[in-house]
Amino acid sequence: MFDTPNDRLLFDVSHQAYIHKIITGRRERFETIRQPGGLNGFCLRTESEHDCYGAGHAGTALSAALGMAVARDMAGGSEHVVAVAGDAAFTNGISFEALNNVAAQTRRLIIVLNDNEWSIDRNVGAIAGYFHRIVTNEHYQHLHSSAAKILERLGGKKVLKVAKKAEEAAKGILWPSMMFEEFGLEYFGPIDGHNIPLLVETFKFLKTIDHPVLLHVLTQKGRGYQPALDGQKKFHGLGPYDPETGQTKPAGQQTYSEAFANTLVELARADERIVAITAAMPNGTGLDLFRPHHPKRYFDVGIAEEHAVIFAAGMATRGFRPVCAIYSTFLQRAFDPIVHDVALQKLPVVFCMDRAGLSGDDGPTHHGLFDIAYLRGIPEMTLMAPKDEDELADMMKTAFELPGPSAIRYPRGAVAGVARKAEPRVLPVGRAEVIADGADVAIFGLGPMIGLAAELAEQLERDGFSAALINPRFVKPIDREVIERYAQRVAAFVTFEDHVKMGGFGSAVAEALQEAGCAVPVVRIGWPDHFIEHGKVDALRAKYGLTVEEAETQVLPLIAHRKRRALVAS
């Protein structure tokens, strides 16, 4: 019914665009999806002219579509603009900010509300309830088949003639949604989103309408594949599985998300002020493990990161200790609430940032590579990165002792696998852990990047240098005492971080050195000033120089004279 790329078809989040990819020239390459060098899992403007808008984060489709519709109107174009958004996208404020604008800005825009009653988990909140009431309304149930028949009869040349009449008829028969009508959109539906002939006839009709419309379609998550129907949450996104049975590989080692959740369960047992907040990611953040233990202290607010943070701020003003468990990439949404609501008021909200660092197969929309840069400059903020799961627990315990806001960044995937202490301990704030002392070079490995730092230290020791190995623990406040101490002794610093170099931990070290009047060079190993594509973490690290070899190549010329001196001395 629509002719892309001339017509503009855009998807909210856009992980729903697999069929779109198949029918717009990417069928042959489809099996490469989410593989290194293959198709991206989301729409990407650089991947195809049929992907008119890239996404990955929720809530953007309506605003972007309205922008395209207004651009078309201003240029005098005639193309259609169609936004497809899931029911959970309507729990996001941006969708409503767009709705508030639509009727005043354009007369032609088609919004499809693709309602499967699921976010990643079950959709939550009043909007989900509202959609559910429309769908289960007796009036609608009774009249649905006659409405469908009317729409089915529409089409072809008859459409224009009968449009007006049908519109009236359809409006009278279909259960109207007051909410969308109040926003100035004409509401149609709900109709069966798996009935292709009905959808075709409906779109033929909607194309003739000269005001913004919203079509509510009902779909089933996992339709057509029994294992996905049996495990709708699991099949939202998963690794390789057996297509016959839907079985995935048995879960291996514990993840950081699980370690976080288990620790929070324990800490919340001892401290009744602790509450946990997720923005529609109970599964991904691990909080679904917290929920059964403390159901009254668990809050899923929908895909609403800004609200989650301000809600946490509100609770903190009343003595609670809220934890916002939000992926590094999605917390970007809440930058202003972190500054304006939490930090400025010095409220003790704890941000637990899962997926901090490269997110691998998800690609640039999901890599968590900016959080240090966006949090480091905020006054009152304490920013930590654990080297392993035991230290994560210590940092969580420490965070709850602080009078103001704090954030802990930890990566996607498996923990280091170290032994856990029986009880987490409170860490001295702003103090790094010197793992090994050394006199020629000081090597800092932030968080799990301590692994690469340790390898480099060993390598340099083998080469005849004396290398200090330091686990910074705190990005902010940074340990100036340790930095200044080593600045007096070593010929160079090396910093490793799973974050962009610009504004990251290495930059913080360089700033501290400069402020202390020390001219020691810093080799910063981190991600370049460039959006990183999807792929396997190790391969991308090798491609962009986040390796021991790269660090060694850069640092050797800076410390070479030390080795000669050492040799002469011996």
Q: Catalog residues that contact ligand TPP under the rule CB under 6 A.
A: 12-13, 15-16, 57-58, 86-89, 114, 116, 118-120, 279-280, 303, 305, 330, 333
Q: How far is the CB of 119 from ligand TPP (least distance, A)?
A: 4
5 upstream amide cis, omega within 30 of 0:
yes
State the Cα torsion 39-43-46-49 to the nearest 10°: 110
- Which residues is 215 bridged to in the sheet? 112, 188
Distance CA 174, CA 126 (A): 22
Please say which residue, 355 or 541, places its beta carbon nearer to ligand TPP. 355
User: DSSP H helical segments within 82-195, as ranges?
Assistant: 93-105, 125-136, 138-153, 158-173, 178-182
Judged by beta carbon, residue 229 or residue 402, the one nearer ligand TPP is 229
First vs last C-alpha separation in the chain:
81
For ligand TPP, the closer of residues 115 and 440 by Cβ is: 115
Which pairing describes strands 382-384 and 474-476: parallel, antiparallel, or unpaired? antiparallel
Q: How would you write 463-494 as a 3-class SS string?
A: CCCCEEEEECCEEECCCHHHHHHHHCCCCEEE
| Closer by beta carbon to ligand TPP, 56 or else 348 | 56
Which of the residues 221, 233, 234, 485 is marked catalytic? Answer: 221
Tell the smallest beta-carbon distance from residue 227 to ligand TPP (Å): 17
Cis peptide upstream of residue 190 (ω within 30 degrees of 0) = yes
Residue nearest to ligand TPP (CB): 86
Q: Choose the catalytic residue: 321, 333, 501, 562.
A: 333
What are the angstrom distances between the C-alpha of 514 and each of 480, 510, 520? 11, 6, 9
Using CA atoms, how far apart are residues 85 and 58, in angstroms rounded to an integer?
9
**Closest CB 443 distance from ligand TPP, rounded Å:** 36
> Catalytic: 221?
yes
Q: How far is the CB of 57 from ligand TPP (least distance, A)?
A: 4
Helix (H, G, I), strand (E, B) or coil at 443: strand
Nearer to ligand TPP, 282 or 503 (CB): 282
Taking the complex as a whole, how short is the minimal distance between the CB of residue 199 and ligand TPP, in angstroms?
16
User: Residue 305 or residue 440: which is nearer to ligand TPP going by CB?
Assistant: 305
Cβ at position 464, least distance to ligand TPP in Å: 50
* 205, 231 Cβ separation under 8 angstroms: no
Locate 419 and state its tokens.
């032994």
Catalytic pick among 167, 305, 306, 389: 305
Q: Where in the sequence numbering do the catalytic residues fall?
A: 221, 305, 333
